[in-house]
Amino acid sequence: MSFLSIKFFLLFIPVFYIYWNVNNRYKRLILLISSCLFYSFFSFNFLLHFLVVIAVNYLLIRFTQDKSYFLKLAIGFNLLNLFLFKYFYFFLEMIGYLTGIQALTHKSELNQYFSSITHIANFEVILPVTISYYTFQLISLSVDLHKKTVEGPISFYDIASYTLFFPVMIAGPITRYKDIVPAMESATLSKEDMFEGIWKILLGLTKKIALSDSIAAVIYPIFKEPENYSGYSILLTCYFFAIHLYLDILGLTDIARGLGRLLGFNLPENFKAPFFLTSFSDFWRRWHLSFSFWIRDYIYIPLGGSRVSETKGYLNLLITFVLGGLWHGASMNFIMWGFLTGVFLSVERFMEVKKINLIPESRVKPYLKFLFVFHVYMITWILFFTQSLLAAFTVIWRMLSFQAGIELKNIEMGIYILIFGMLFQIVEEFPEKFQWFEKWKRFVLPIFSLAIVLLILNNSGNKDFFYEKF
């Protein structure tokens, strides 16, 4: 079920009413039941699988938390679950390329083979919804228990309430146990919470349906055959894709934070004006913050972070972002994206340590640095919408050499949405400059609500979020 459907909101309204009209001790149960119902709309079988995964994690915590091998066992199980469903075909494909066994590189042949030995008709490994996100949540819970930053005892009910919390279930923000479960015991709702929650939801729907989906209609045709488009069209697509990705994830985050606010939770921000970046590292203090902080806290710092030798510190950055890239998808494109990001951050740190200054100090230096960093990151995102490394490098070459080809259509629409996207970033970067608008929100809200309802009813575009596939 999509956050963008009338069906979802027809489900949410009675949940909201019941939730705030029962005794506090039943509120969490209402949330858990509604979350299970929400997930079951995607697949009842995968809901059962999800509950089994939660049960195994509970048993590991219950019986092995005090053992020296607890953390390895808990992380190992959750990574194995993720590997079997997300990287099964990718792993066999890599073996096929390395050994020359062509059958391993063809998904259809593999499915036929496993059908024959398992006697399961139409065998196929399907990726469960949200598996990447709940794997991160379960690993963070195990690590926090091991480090004693989360106190036990932890029940099956606690873990299920945490991982099945439906506002963040689809694509984040990636939450921590200590920010969700304790708050379930003391949820409150003020008029301000209700107003801000509705406002956030409407804003998220606007960013997704009115803006992100509209620019998607401009750029998605090029995703099918990017190597046939002109270099100029590919460059424009990079700009448009950057703002599309930003609006898509931000729209989802706003909806999730709005739903959370209506249920008595203050969920974390996920963006802080990322296109106002000042360096490669500054970008990750602004973009997809819950993901950025997770890989910092649970991969980079445990590896030693920057508290090791200079060379090891660079290696830690590479490992962290290669794994972060692999989390995004089972593809060499995402691994390459993560590797390149790690390289950029390592080179930047190396230059800072060695005090290498390629651009003399001047008033224009920050602007030149911004243009360089932004375009480098933007070009690497070509790896997100091309089918292979070869296709990605071909597209990058066509763009940099301004090759002739098919021209992008409806450019004006893309430019308009690019401007709107930058306006949202200005508000994120300078919130104090827009305090005057707060008093007008209540007058705008009824008209805004009606407009969004009509938008949802007439929405026939892309109902999925780009990040859902991760």
> Quick one: which of 241, 243, 247, 298 has its CA closest to 270?
247
> Active-site residues: which are they?
328
Interhelix angle 213-224/411-429, nearest 10 degrees: 130
> Quick one: which of 383, 401, 411, 388 has its CA closest to 221?
411
> Quick one: which of 286, 291, 302, 280 has its CA closest to 328?
291
What single-letter amino acid sits at 38? Answer: F
Quick one: tokens of 470? 């991760």
Token match 């079997």: residue? 84
Burial of 24 (0-12, 13-18, 19+ CB in 10 A): exposed
Buried b (16+ CB within 10 A) or exposed e, 374-412: beebebbbbbbbbeeeebbebbbebbeeebebeebeeee
> Quick one: which of 6, 31, 422, 42 has its CA closest to 205?
6
Distance CA 53, CA 48 (A): 9
> Quick one: which of 291, 292, 319 has its CA closest to 305?
319
Interhelix angle 88-99/70-86, nearest 10 degrees: 80
Strand partners, 229: 406
Inter-residue contact 428 to 273 (CB < 8 Å):
yes
What single-letter amino acid sits at 11? Answer: L
Inter-residue contact 335 to 326 (CB < 8 Å):
yes
